Structure 1
Amino acid sequence: MALTPSELALIEKHQRDLESRAHTDELLLRYYLGAQRVEHLGMAIPPNLRRFMVIANWCRTFVDTKNARQQVRSLILPGEETADPKLRAIWDASNLSAHTSMFNVDRMVYGRAFMSVGANEKDKSLPLVRVESPREMSAFVDPRTEVITSACRLYGATDEDLSPKLVTLLQPDATVWAAKDQGVWVETSRDEHRLGSVPVVMHLNRRRSGSWSGESELTDLIPLVDAATRSLTNMQFAQEAHGIPGIWATGVTKGDFVDAQGKPVPQFEAYFDVIKILSDKDSKWGQFSAADLKNFETALKVYGTQASTVTGFPARYWGITSTNPPTEGAIHADEANLTRGIEADNEQVGMTLGWVAALALRFATDTWVDGNRVRVDFFDPATPTVSQREDALAKRRAAGVLSREGYWDELGWSEARKAKEREYLARERAEEVDPYLALVREKGEVDRAASEPAVVG
């Protein structure tokens, strides 16, 4: 079956949407990688000295720090209170712990991120969930129902030819694969799945009402990164040019700066050996003051303070530290804005991941989740110490407001870990009721240890 005119037009529309974002996407990626180009410097540095440029890669620090604190703990079906083992199996089979990390980087860098769900030919009960590159994926949304009407992945570009060679068009009832042949899209495969929903979920970062485009988390930080980069580069150039004090001398000629063979002495050697070189009693020399680089340090602290303001991060993330290390409580208080910001992000990201999980269950079970909403729980994004967390949980448990199972949930134990602990507790209770069982078990362990061969170091 060949592509219909409407499908061809839809592919071209998606391709134009991607092309309109390509320049901005490339710029944002370069800032995340610390490979951006700073066009204007504070002083006129010759092109051959541009190698002194130092990138203050605060963008990667910002994104990776937030990403590291967004760890999914469990997936829970509507009306349930415990993690669903089926959802966990799908999560593990698709290695979504790593994929979710990529998803978070995409949404924070580009302002949008995509996840797709597809059938697994080897095991239908474990559908394939993948993160799609925002630089290859485009999606259109019905503004009334807020449902994706079509999505398109254009890929296969090379360094020699940046235009895509392959395309996957995803629609509610069919997925079409096509390849470009002599400049024309030609269908290669088609799946009439009749799902009734596009198997792609799109997340828009910082979306505003009336808009279906996201915003990068780096928007506010980029101008400060440029400013810090200029200061660091200027400081390094100033250090090279003026960090070593200049020397002046009078009553000397070029002939004084030669070696025993009459060859000119290198400038660096002459700088350190000037006292030895000046043999004329009427010659004089002196030293200029070295450049004071303190102003660059002050400028960088100003930029770091502003970066802390616009991101909500503690100032120490931008190199502003105190002499004495902060205490546990001070660290927790200092990260209050950072923690609350990540909790707000988790609410949005959790909603998107919940839709993905519901879509995956549809592929696995052929039925939709009631309400099409899976609840996603995250680990605490703050950085409490083990003693702080255990102390708080022990107090809740003692007050009777937290169950044993709830205690385990707060510790982040997996279902397998909790099942093993239940087994241990059941064994302990049985031994308390019948001490003979404990003696039998202890003797069995001793006999097993005696039968094992000794290991010679």
Structure 2
Amino acid sequence: MTVHVEKLLGKLDRAQPVIAGRDRRYRGEQPLRFTTVPVEGEYKQFAVNIYRAAVNAVAERMRVKKIRVEVDGEDLSEDIYSIWDMLGMDMKLQSTIADVLAVGSAYLIVWMKNGQPVITVESAEHVTTMSDPVDGTITEAVKRWYEYDADGIEVSERVVHYGPFWVVTYHRGANGQLVEDSRVQNPLGVVPVVPLINAERIGDECGHSVIDDLSNLVDALSKTLSDMLIASELVARPKRYATGVSLEESLDDGFSADDPVVEEFEHTPVQVPFADGEDLFITESEAAKFGQLPGADLAGYKTTVDLLLQQIMTVSGLPAHMVGITTANPSSADAIRAAEASLTARAESRGLALALGIENALKLVTAFYTDVPVDRIGTWIEWRDFGSKSQAQEADAITKLHSLGIMTTDEAREALGLRKL
């Protein structure tokens, strides 16, 4: 049995570099790239976090509106929804969806605690699954975490192995081998771990992240903006100059500032007679002349930033008003929906990809609640509208459907978020 566990832990370890890289970018902690020399100081991790905006813009549109559960034709939707609501799954699911879109995958674990079904949301940093290559069903899963002492030193490694008939807990022994701690029977007959994979292609087990597509573009944008900040500090301010003014030497060694072989005295401290911030320059020399050099024009940076933002919008589906282009603000609700059409389509596509996993988790909850085999349970979820629309538009559409007899009064009230009469 431990051979299977070690195999799963190896799979978990292999996924961590990709997950860690995506997580670091989502948090805006990636180092500055495309520099000829390593960057240190406060510019070292200068980053424009468009990743978070791209992920959250889709995740915020994906909200479960209604769940439906049937056992042998009997409707248990209200009972299961009460458990769903008690567990705070509406809130937990939002963070889970964001994690799925950001790093590619997340997991739901369903079990019993104090006689009630519970759902825990798990990160891909700690959980992975193994599936049947023929029909794709989950055959086993593993969860691993580490325990630390007060000084932050790792003291133990804990592992839980989930199978269709047993759930076994291990710890890593002093000899590096897994030691079994406990074994609990699994009454479901199926693995109680449900993967939520942001799959875009067949056989994609690790999941896709929009962060991968945006990485080079966002890094280029961060580099351009950091260059602009450095340029604004060094050359954007106008510089003043003076000619024909004698410079005072801080060392009395006979050196003259007008000496043609000034390179030989490059380390000799020479005091500049005028501070850069002084308002008035005064000199007794009749030959002195004063002037000002124009500051550098930073308009070229704006052109580059606009070009990069256009490419980012193409890849991410973000409309112009979501990436800070204020000149493209939509003037009406219909214009907003049109501008966000690509974003809405992406959210709808991800909703289809994740719905099956959420429905499977509801089946497991129902199986624990009713003590009925999973294959006798039917579950369905309904998402809220993925598009942006005003409350007035929604109320007007529902009123028209009700007046035409397409919707009943109870259905219309439910669609508006009101209680049934």
Q: TM-score category by the smaller chain?
A: 0.7 to 0.9
Contact residue 63 and residue 108 of structure 1 kept, 8 A: yes
Q: Structure 2 vs 1, CA of residues 371 and 290 (structure 1 numbering), >3 Å: closer, same or farther?
A: farther
Q: Structure 2 vs 1, CA of residues 388 and 119 (structure 1 numbering), >3 Å: closer, same or farther?
A: same
In structure 1, the partner of 2:385 is 380
Residue type of the partner of 1:166?
R
Cα distance in 2, alignment partners of residues 295 and 375 from structure 1:
53
In structure 2, the partner of 1:141 is 131
In structure 2, the partner of 1:402 is 407
In structure 1, the partner of 2:361 is 356
**Alignment of 1:335 onto 2:340:** yes
Contact residue 52 and residue 236 of structure 1 kept, 8 A: no
**Alignment of 1:318 onto 2:327:** no
In structure 2, the partner of 1:437 is none
Residue type of the partner of 2:196?
H
**Alignment of 1:284 onto 2:289:** yes
Cα distance in 1, alignment partners of residues 390 and 226 from structure 2:
38
Of 36, 39, 48, the match for 2:30: 36
Residue type of the partner of 1:28?
R
Of 295, 301, 312, the match for 2:306: 301
Cα distance in 1, alignment partners of residues 407 and 399 from structure 2:
9
Q: Structure 2 vs 1, CA of residues 323 and 89 (structure 1 numbering), >3 Å: closer, same or farther?
A: closer
What is the Cα deviation at residue 386 of structure 1?
1.2
Cα distance in 2, alignment partners of residues 269 and 248 from structure 1:
10
Consecutive unaligned residues of structure 1, counting only runs of 5 or more, are 1-6, 258-263, 423-457
Task: Please list the CA deviations of residues 214-269 of structure 1 after superposition, one character each: whole Å capped at 9, or x if unmatched.
Answer: 22232211111111111111111111111111222111133399xxxxxx999897
What is the Cα deviation at residue 54 of structure 1?
3.1
1:159-308 pair list within 5 angstroms: 165-182=157-174, 183-255=176-248, 270-273=275-278, 275-308=280-313
Cα distance in 2, alignment partners of residues 338 and 221 from structure 1:
15
What is the Cα deviation at residue 40 of structure 1?
2.4
Q: Structure 2 vs 1, CA of residues 220 and 276 (structure 1 numbering), >3 Å: closer, same or farther?
A: same
In structure 2, the partner of 1:451 is none
Cα distance in 2, alignment partners of residues 99 and 240 from structure 1:
45
Of 51, 54, 59, the match for 2:43: 51
In structure 2, the partner of 1:16 is 10
Contact residue 358 and residue 368 of structure 1 kept, 8 A: no
TM-score between the two structures when normalised by the length of structure 1? 0.81
Bigger helix share? 1
- Give 3-state SS (helix, strand or coil) of 1:189's partner: strand
What is the Cα deviation at residue 45 of structure 1?
6.5
What is the Cα deviation at residue 402 of structure 1?
1.7
Residue type of the partner of 1:241?
L
In structure 1, the partner of 2:95 is 102
Cα distance in 1, alignment partners of residues 53 and 361 from structure 2:
28
Q: Structure 2 vs 1, CA of residues 279 and 272 (structure 1 numbering), >3 Å: closer, same or farther?
A: farther
- Give 3-state SS (helix, strand or coil) of 1:249's partner: strand
Contact residue 107 and residue 124 of structure 2 kept, 8 A: yes
Contact residue 75 and residue 83 of structure 1 kept, 8 A: no
Cα distance in 1, alignment partners of residues 289 and 249 from structure 2:
13
Task: Please list the CA deviations of residues 31-69 of structure 1 after superposition, one character each: whole Å capped at 9, or x if unmatched.
Answer: 00000112322xx57745553753110001111221111
Residue type of the partner of 2:387?
A
Residue type of the partner of 1:307?
I
Bigger strand share? 2
What is the Cα deviation at residue 274 of structure 1?
6.2
In structure 2, the partner of 1:131 is 121
Cα distance in 2, alignment partners of residues 131 and 346 from structure 1:
18
Task: Please list the CA deviations of residues 314-354 of structure 1 after superposition, one character each: whole Å capped at 9, or x if unmatched.
Answer: 12212222176522221111111111221121122222111
Of 57, 64, 69, the match for 2:56: 64
Contact residue 207 and residue 213 of structure 1 kept, 8 A: no
Consecutive unaligned residues of structure 2, counting only runs of 5 or more, are 251-268
Q: How well do the aligned residues superpose, as a CA RMSD in angstroms?
A: 2.7
Residue type of the partner of 1:243?
A
What is the Cα deviation at residue 179 of structure 1?
1.2
